[in-house]
Amino acid sequence: MSSPCADNPGTDPDAVHVGVPYDRDRIDELEERLLEAVERAGYEKASRFAIKLAFEEALMNAFSHGHEGLGDDVEVEVEYRVRPDEVFIAVQDQGPGFTPHEVPDPTLDENLAKPTGRGLMLIRAYMSEVTHNAAGNRVEMRYRRPAD
């Protein structure tokens, strides 16, 4: 990847493009950096909760499903741009991808007691816009600042 690595995220702390392996300390560090940028841009607590939740779920989907069977060293690519009116986050894994509309609705009665399958619906619930690439291994999320 030609983008800066996680140890050298570039000069703009509000616009980052990095690769991150499945290493909790590295993930926490990146998440903290994102949330600091979000706070600097003046987003309220509820917005920061939503962004943290979606970021976590997207990353865990990438590592648990996208990178299933791959090593922890295989990096997930993360981009984010924090602006006063919108936060953009993209997460791309190196797996074969999935078909988002084939994920069963976890809120149906017959699926309520299933322990998995809620990550994507939570991302959709908390983000303003969620799109996937054709291959199904990249999710792009936009969170628009709520009206005051």
- Nearest partner of 123 among 140, 98, 148, judged by Cα: 140
Compute φ and ψ for 134, nearest 5 degrees. Answer: -60, -35
Does 114 engage in binding with other proteins (CB under 8 A)? yes
Q: Which stretch binds other proteins (CB under 8 A): 46-54, 80-88, 91-99, 140-148?
A: 46-54
Does 135 engage in binding with other proteins (CB under 8 A)? no
- Paired tokens of 70: 């791959």
Does 121 engage in binding with other proteins (CB under 8 A)? yes
Does 93 engage in binding with other proteins (CB under 8 A)? no
CA distances from 21 to 76, 94, 98, 139 (A): 6, 11, 20, 17
Does 56 engage in binding with other proteins (CB under 8 A)? yes
- Paired tokens of 26: 């590295």
- Applying CB under 8 A, the residues found at the interface with other proteins are 24, 46, 49, 52-53, 56-57, 60, 64, 106-107, 112-116, 118-119, 121-122, 125
